[in-house]
Structure 1
Amino acid sequence: MEIIYCLVPKWYWENWSGKESYLPRDYEQEGFIHATKGEELLKKVADRVYADFQDELYVLVIEEAKVKAPVKYEQAKDGRLYPHIYGELNTDAIVEIRQMTRAGDHWEVGEKLGESV
């Protein structure tokens, strides 16, 4: 099973929990959903994007093969390839949700919150 990850603030996710699809806050501006692959890269992205974030942060654990919208791997400014989801994320592709936790100045993948959405 190929897994990709999507970070989302808890307060924002609560608006989408229980729905058939999900779109992040910046979808209209970006045109796709940012995702990442691999836990180490996930933590680096969380440290960079959410460095000053003080609220609760979740990570959506997504089975890539179940995503109905096109997933394209595109190169970012850091030279790495990231999966971008071009369309709504069908929530039945989310296999679990985990809480991200702070360890000093860094984010770590924390406890599992649920098996499915």
Structure 2
Amino acid sequence: MHEMAIAEGILDIALDYAKQNAAKKINEIGLLLGEMSGVEVDSLEFSFNMLVQGTIAEGAQLKIKHVPLVGRCSKCGREYHIEHYDFWCPECENGVLTTISGREMQVEYLEVD
């Protein structure tokens, strides 16, 4: 379950930030999770809630912002939501595109006291 390792990374980032800023409590952690990140949200939340027990992040809420998988066609320039991992441009049927969003997996913000 790679969600446990991801949760550990999130907690490490939050605790490090809290320490650097003399925070006493971590209340909320905002995450950006791309559609293509492969993260199972329920498993991530379960793992995170297990890991924070006994830390200053105990009781902290994970606020997850889902980022859609969007690509830009290198031929016609059209941007579109990529569905079912179909990377062909629906406009010109070119298969060469640049992924604009949807691969994110990062801490966006922390709310601390």
**TM-score normalized by structure 1?**
0.26
Q: TM-score normalized by structure 2? A: 0.27
Q: Which has the larger radius of gyration?
A: 2
Structure (1/2) with the larger strand percentage: 1
